[in-house]
Homo-oligomer: A and B are copies of this chain.
């Protein structure tokens, strides 16, 4: 069943200890949809400028991603650049040119509105909310946010996530949003805001999924080499929602299978780990589903006891 992905489609300039790329395809919507496309029909909503390259469009289209909701408008595509610390756990933003993204006002094509799965990349909460309201018959909706919205747009953010099934953020964001340092208590506080499921991304340390009174924890995959962590969190999100869509996951029918949520977290982790193996979206040029499933099984071998 289909997944609708909303968020930024961008060009990134990235420098890591392994090298530097001045301009490459990026953006949350791009990474989420690439990851999701391995599991389920994926439709994107975003905006790009006249400079958006045909080969980048072809990469997305080649993965079967529905581009009907990708608006092309006069001007330049959103550009972001940043540099990672030596251990790649921190990054500094060098430049953010919103360009055409400044006036982004997502409008869903008619053919998107009945999709059962929706994932909202990190954009202004009011925009996330407007997309949610354009959809009918959702089985599962959720998304990401960031410190900026939590701090300066709290009221708007709370009005937005009230209608979400899941929130997918990192540990610092969960602490900031809830005002609780302890992650169990942070989850309990966030459940009172609306979502029944909270996924906390912990970078190299993996992820935790909280669902009501239950939780699941997965450690991070140990890579020999992390080339570029850009997009890893978004690929996690794409693997997570994509797998649930593939399984036709439906919380509303009351038959909640926690194992399906756990496996979605593993697939999220798998996609996030592949993302780091090359610069930008490069790993997705060759990645095959059988590699994904093999790494899913590898997670069993290093976590089972």
Contact = CB atoms under 8 A, between A and B. Distances in A.
Interface of A: 86-87, 181-185, 202, 205-206, 208, 215-220, 222-226, 259, 262-263, 265-266, 299-300, 302-305
A218 B219 contact: yes
Contacts of A181: 86-87
B303 A222 contact: no
Contacts of A184: 222-224
B217 A222 contact: yes
Given A183-B222, A185-B224, A222-B208, A215 B263 contact: no
Contacts of A215: 222, 302
A78 to B, nearest CB: 32
A179 to B, nearest CB: 14
A225 B182 contact: yes
Contacts of A305: 216, 218, 259, 262-263, 265-266, 299-300
Given A182-B224, A217-B222, A219-B219, 6 more contacts: A182-B226, A185-B224, A205-B206, A215-B302, A218-B305, A266-B305
A260 to B, nearest CB: 9
A216 B298 CA distance: 11
